[in-house]
Amino acid sequence: MESEKNWWSKVKERVASKYFIAALALFFLLVTVLFLFVDSSKEDQFYPRSSHNLAERVIKMFIEQEYLNLTSYVDRIADTLPVSERNLVLFYKAESYFKQKKLQEAFRIFLDLEKSQINFWQARFRLGCIQLLLGKKEQAAKLMEEVSKSSEEVYFWKGLLYYELGDYNEALGYMKKVFYKPDALLISANIYLKMDEEDEALSHFLMLKGKYPSYREKALDAIMAIFEKNKNYPQLLLAIEEYEKLLPQKIEIKRKKGMVLYQMGRKEEACNLLSSESLAKKDLETFRLLAKIAFEMERFQEEVFYFSQ
| pLDDT tens per residue across span 238-257 | 999 999 999 988 888 988 99
- What's the whole-number mean pLDDT along residues 53-78? 97
Q: How far apart are CA 258 and CA 263, in angstroms?
A: 9
Spacing of C-alpha 238 from chain mean position: 23
Which fold is adopted by the domain 249-308? 1.25.40
CB atoms within 10 A of CB 286: 19
Percent of the chain at pLDDT exceeding 70 = 81
Q: What band does 25 get if pLDDT is binned at 50, 70 and 90?
A: very low
Q: How far apart are CA 92 and CA 46, in angstroms?
A: 11
Is the pLDDT higher at 11 or at 175? 175
Q: What band does 287 get if pLDDT is binned at 50, 70 and 90?
A: confident
| Global pTM exceeds 0.85 | no
For the stretch 220-240, pLDDT in tens is 999 999 999 999 999 999 999
For residues 290 and 267, the answer to whether their CB atoms sit within 8 Å is: no
For the stretch 30-51, pLDDT in tens is 333 333 333 444 568 999 999 9
Per-residue burial over 232-250, b if 16 or more Cβ lie within 10 Å, else e, is ebeebbebbeebeeeeeee
- What pLDDT sits at residue 198? 96
Is the pLDDT higher at 219 or at 117? 219
Kindly report the average pLDDT of the chain as a whole number: 85
